[in-house]
Amino acid sequence: MWWRDAVIYQVYIRSFADGNGDGLGDLTGLRNRLAHIADLGVDAIWINPWYPSPMADGGYDVSDYRDVDPRFGTLDDAEKLIAEAHARGLRVLLDIVPNHTSSEHPWFVEALAGGVMRDRYLFRGGRGDEPPNDWQSVFGGPAWTRVPDGQWYLHLFDPSQPDLNWDHPEVRAYFVDTLRFWFDRGVDGFRIDVAHSLIKQAGLPDLGTARPDPHPHWDRDEVHEVYREWRRVADAYDPPRIFVAEAWVDEPERLSRYLRPDELHTAFNFNYLTAPWRAPDLRRTIVRTLAEHLAVGAAPTWVLSNHDVARHLSRYARADQSGPTRQLTDLLDRPADLALGARRVRAALLLTLSLPGGVYLYQGEELGLPEVEDLPEDALRDPTWRRSGFTDRGRDGCRVPLPWSGDAPPFGFGPGPDTWLPQPASWASLTAAAQTGDPASMLEFYREALRTRRALPALRTAPFRFRDEFGPDVVAFERGPGFLSVVNLSAAPVPLPPRATVCLASAELIGDRLPPDAAAWVTR
C-alpha cells in the first residue's frame, strides 16, 4: 500500500533532460539525471507518454501502445530505466491514453479506408453538411471531422486524436493486453489519461444549451466497468500494480466513485489545484476531499501543477488569487510578484506535504520555475494555439525544458545547442547546479521538506484534525497530538503556540510569529 502516502514526481519526458543533443528530452537524459529525482527523496516517478507518436499533442496521440518513440529511445532503454529506477528505490508509473489513438495508429489508418475497422472508432453520418451533433473539442471547434466519403469521426481533442469506441470488445481487450505488456516489464502502475471519458451515451445526443446531467460524454456510469476489469488485471500481479485517474470531475462524490475498493487506487485532486490561495477556499477543499475519500476508504492525493496548467508559482504570484489554471491573461514580469509566488510555493509545499495521503510534484517546481508567459508565438507547439484560432496560447509555458547548469541556454539540458522550446535567459539562477548547496534555495527547501516528511511517521499515519484558534485566514491542523501544521494566508504575522518546537518553516519567523504567506511544522 505504498501509494497511499507516496510522493510521486512527474517527469514530462520531452522537457526533463536530453541525452542525444536533438533538443528533445529522452530516456538517456532521464537515466543520466535519475539521481536528481532520487536525491529529492520521492517514492516514484510518473512519466508522460513515451510511445511512438506523431507528437501532434505531445505524445497523447499514440500510434503504438507497446513500444517507445525512437526520439525518446528504445524498448531496451525503457527496461534499463525501469531497472535503474527500482535500484534507487523509485517506482515507475507510465501514462496510458485509452480515450483516443493517434490518427496514424494502424487501426485508424485502416478505418479511413472504410470497412469494419470503423467500428473501433465513432464514425457517423452528418446532418446535411453539418456534423452529427453539437459536441465541441476540448481544444476548440467541433468535435467532428469529415472524411472524403462524407462520414464524420468523433475527436474530443485534436482531429489527430480520434476517439475509440469502448463498446467494441477488441478495444477493451487491446488495452487489457497493453496493461499486461508493461506490467510484465516491471512497470508499477499507470496514470489514466482523461479517465472520465471513454464511454459515450448511446445515440450520441446533442449537448443542447443547458448543462446536461448526466453528461453524454464525461463521467458516464458505464466507465466503471472498464476500471473494475483493469483492477482485476493489476491485482493479479505481485506486488499489485496501481492506477491514478486523471479525471476532471468537479463533484468529490462523483470522483470518489472511481476510487471504490474494486476500482482505481487514487485520482488527481484537481479541486486542490484549482483552489485560489485563500484560507477559506483551501479549507473547504480539504474538508470535501477528506470526507469523500473516507467514504470509500480511499487515499486522497494533492497536486498543484502539471503539464496542462500554468505553474502554481505564477498563479500564486497574482497577489489576490491563484490565477487561471491554464492561460495567465495578464503578462507578469515584475520580480516582486515572482518573489511572492515563490514564497507561497514554499508555504504550499509544507501544507501539501502535511496533509494525509499522496502528493504529486511536477518537474521544475522544486527549482522554483515560473510559467514562461512570453514565449514567442512562432515557438508555440501546443495544438490549442492553432485550434483556438490563435487566441489561446496553450500549455507550452509550463513545458519549457529544465535548466540544469550553466549561465546560458540550453542550461545543461543536453549536449546540443538547442531546446525544443526556448528557455528564458533569466533561468541562470534557477538551475539545479546553482541551487545545490545553497540553503536559501527552493531546491534545498524541497529536499529538506521531503526529508523531514520521511522522518515524521505522524505525517503518514496520525489522524487529521483542524485547529481553529489561529483565525479564519490561517489553515492549521494537527496530525496526532505531536504535530501541528500552520499556514498563514493572512496579511499579518500569527503567533505560534508557546513552547513550540518549529522543525521546519517556509520563511524566517518574526520572533515566535509566523509571517504572512508562510507555513511552519511544529512538533512537541
List residues near ligand TEU by CB under 6 A: 57, 60, 97, 138, 157, 193-194, 246, 248, 307-309, 326
Q: How far is the CB of 69 from ligand TEU (least distance, A)?
A: 15
Q: What is the C-alpha separation between 377 and 381, in angstroms, rounded?
A: 9
Q: How far is the CB of 246 from ligand TEU (least distance, A)?
A: 6
Whole-number Cα distances in Å, 496 to 257, 468, 488, 511 = 39, 13, 10, 10
> Dihedral (C-alpha) 103, 105, 109, 112: value to the nearest 10 degrees?
-50
Q: How far is the CB of 520 from ligand TEU (least distance, A)?
A: 33
Kindly tell me the sign of the dihedral angle through the C-alpha atoms of 357, 363, 364, 370: negative
- Reported as type and span, the H/E element at residue 466 is strand 464-466
* Amino acid (1-letter code) at residue 322: S
Whole-number Cα distances in Å, 338 to 130, 309, 343, 396, 403 = 47, 17, 9, 19, 18
Of the pair 396, 478, the CB lying nearest ligand TEU is at 396
For 185, the grid coordinates are: 516489464
Of the pair 247, 342, the CB lying nearest ligand TEU is at 247
Sheet holding 123-124, edge to edge: 123-124, 152-154, 144-146
Q: How far is the CB of 168 from ligand TEU (least distance, A)?
A: 19
Phi and psi based region of residue 41 (left: phi greater than 0; alpha: psi -120 to 50; beta: remaining): left
> Coil, strand or helix: which one is 301?
strand
Of the pair 188, 193, the CB lying nearest ligand TEU is at 193
Q: How far is the CB of 138 from ligand TEU (least distance, A)?
A: 5
Q: How far is the CB of 158 from ligand TEU (least distance, A)?
A: 8
Q: How far is the CB of 318 from ligand TEU (least distance, A)?
A: 17
Of the pair 245, 432, the CB lying nearest ligand TEU is at 245
Of the pair 200, 453, the CB lying nearest ligand TEU is at 200
Contacts 24+ apart (CB under 8 A), 377-380: 379/421, 379/422
- Strands (DSSP E) found in 1-69: 7-11, 44-47
> Coil, strand or helix: which one is 524?
coil
Q: How far is the CB of 61 from ligand TEU (least distance, A)?
A: 7
Of the pair 59, 515, the CB lying nearest ligand TEU is at 59
Of the pair 57, 371, the CB lying nearest ligand TEU is at 57
Of the pair 138, 147, the CB lying nearest ligand TEU is at 138
> Dihedral (C-alpha) 450, 453, 454, 456: value to the nearest 10 degrees?
160
